[in-house]
Amino acid sequence: MELLRHPLYSILAVILIGAVAGLLAHEMARGRAPRQRITAALVGIGAAFLGFHLAMLSNLATGVIIMPFAVALVVSLLVSFALRGGTR
């Protein structure tokens, strides 16, 4: 897990977390157009970056390496699922 302390790997991990969360929310929405997958992934990535940086700013990452990534996942899922129910 020490690998995630490297800036490049942490950025790639946050991008992957956000894209997966956004696509998961998109796939669970019924009746969505397939071309909206990119938008859903980008929303998830943006929310994951916000969650990651909020965790870093609030010192949740003091001892546990995985904590900011867990917060990024939770925030990304919350935002993606909240936007999933917005327009129908």
Span 38-69, pLDDT tens digits = 888 999 999 999 999 999 999 876 678 899 99
Sign of the alpha-carbon dihedral angle for 62, 64, 69, 70 = negative
* Alpha carbon of residue 72 to chain centroid: 5
Which residue, 78, 64, 67, 71, is CA-closest to 24? 78
Entry pTM: 0.86
Of 84 and 78, the structure prediction assigns the larger pLDDT to: 78
Place of tokens 């071309």: 35
Burial of 57 (0-12, 13-18, 19+ CB in 10 A): exposed
Domain spans of the chain, in order of start? 2-84
Are residues 67 and 61 in contact, defined by beta-carbon separation less than 8 angstroms?
Answer: yes
Tell me the mean pLDDT in the region 17-27: 91
Tell me the mean pLDDT in the region 71-77: 94
* Alpha carbon of residue 76 to chain centroid: 4
Place of tokens 């020490």: 2
